[in-house]
Amino acid sequence: MDTRRTHPMTSDEPLLLTPGPLTVSESTRQAMNRNWGARDPIFIEMTARLRHRLCELAGGGPGYTCVPIQGSGTFAVEAMLGTLVGPGDKLLVLANGAYGRRMAEMCARMGRDHTILESAEDTPPDPLRVEAALAADDAITHVAVVQCETTTGIVNPVAEIAAIVAASGRSLLVDAMSAFGALPLDAASLPCQALAASANKCLEGVPGVAFVIARADALAAAGDNAPSLSLDLAGQWRGFEANGQWRFTAPTQVVAALDQALDEHAAEGGVAGRGARYRRNRDVLVEGMRAMGFETYLPDAVQAPIIVTFHSPADPNFDFEAFYAALARRGYLIYPGKLTRADTFRIGCIGHIGEAEIRGALDAVREVLDELGVKQRGKRAA
């Protein structure tokens, strides 16, 4: 039974079919509605519970710890790289989209030695090429990979890559942002040294806090590696370990919302339950859009149940801005494309939405296509 509310078309509140911020439940929003003192035992206990539950969700055994950090997901990724990739280290970044490239940009900004192994945006990184790159360069100490590249919605072969990285004696860092909580990822059995994710993707919390699950020995060894004071993951960790408190102003309401969102995640059946709902959302979305003539950018085999990229229709009457605005007027917010080579747009499958909301969005798309006179829905000829 789908218990999600159907979208009230009369409400002025939109449904977010975007990969963050995304639609969150009323109860998660309500959980924020009070004040907490950051040094109050109630809040310290809430923070400890949060760290513990996130670590468990990541399959982090006793060797792992969870370090939450204020900010959006990018803050956690930057803290992870700046802290764990030291000045004498070198990072191999696997990039098949904007988030992979962003990690390389962070290294450049922080003055960290790095090299990029690019693959096409519709193609997962080839584990054999990763193996060859590691064999060819002894200086590489770490490898970074994005589990689900939200640029397209492609799922990358993290487990195969992890096995190669481990066999070569290097350390793996995972940007697990967009799929954490919906696609399985087991830090200890992968294995990885650290993974980064945030409250406001598949966990359906509100934006404002992100976190890294990392090996405690790696954090202990990192010392003062971090080139930034506020994005020093080891410093943040030492703070939590010392007194259970946040180093700088705690995002109290955001933590409370995530605490509630984690209750709802567990009640839905954890990663399996959440993943099943998102897969259903994706399948209904893709089937409905294809029935209207749209084409997906990715082959089904590598399409994650997180966000789907569609080719813009060939019809000259199609204009993304007009399409977006007409959908927004009907209460549905979608996402522009982010590809370097293809004209596309994206629709998210994540957030507190179910099949009914996706079907509502499909009805709205159908109306808007009629309104705009878009008859040719397939992609433009290359």
The residues that touch ligand PLP, with contacts defined as CB under 6 A, are 19-20, 72-74, 77, 99, 146, 150, 175, 177-178, 198
Closest approach, Cβ 292 to ligand PLP, in A, equals: 27
Cβ nearer to ligand PLP, comparing 302 with 322: 302
Closest approach, Cβ 346 to ligand PLP, in A, equals: 11
**Cα angle: 196, vertex 121, 205; to 5 degrees:** 30
Cβ nearer to ligand PLP, comparing 150 with 344: 150
- Neighbour tally for 136: CB within 10 Å: 9
Pairing relation of β-strands 194-198 and 148-149? Answer: unpaired
Cβ nearer to ligand PLP, comparing 44 with 231: 231
Report residue 345 as tokens: 């747009």
Q: How many CA atoms lie within 13 A of 77 on its CB side?
A: 24
Residue nearest to ligand PLP (CB): 73
Cβ nearer to ligand PLP, comparing 124 with 331: 124
**Cα angle: 237, vertex 239, 240; to 5 degrees:** 65
C-beta separation of 284 from 353 below 8 A: no
Residues contacting residue 292 through CB under 8 Å, at least 6 positions apart? 362, 365, 366, 369, 377
Report residue 20 as tokens: 């963050």
Cβ nearer to ligand PLP, comparing 119 with 198: 198
Closest approach, Cβ 73 to ligand PLP, in A, equals: 3
Whole-angstrom distance, CA of residue 10 vs CA of residue 219: 50
- Neighbour tally for 35: CB within 10 Å: 8
Closest approach, Cβ 301 to ligand PLP, in A, equals: 19
Cβ nearer to ligand PLP, comparing 331 with 348: 348
Whole-angstrom distance, CA of residue 209 vs CA of residue 66: 13
Closest approach, Cβ 149 to ligand PLP, in A, equals: 6
Whole-angstrom distance, CA of residue 227 vs CA of residue 25: 37
Whole-angstrom distance, CA of residue 240 vs CA of residue 137: 37
* 184 closest CA partner among 103, 279, 68, 80: 279
> Buried (b) or exposed (e) across 64-95, using 16+ Cβ within 10 A?
bbbbbbbbbbbbbbbbbbbbbbbeebbbbbbb
Cβ nearer to ligand PLP, comparing 31 with 177: 177
Whole-angstrom distance, CA of residue 108 vs CA of residue 106: 5
- Neighbour tally for 356: CB within 10 Å: 15
Full DSSP string of 284-331 = HHHHHHHHTT--BSS-GGGB-SSEEEEEPBS-TT--HHHHHHHHHHTT
Cβ nearer to ligand PLP, comparing 44 with 344: 344
Closest approach, Cβ 170 to ligand PLP, in A, equals: 21
Cβ nearer to ligand PLP, comparing 206 with 361: 206
Cβ nearer to ligand PLP, comparing 147 with 296: 147
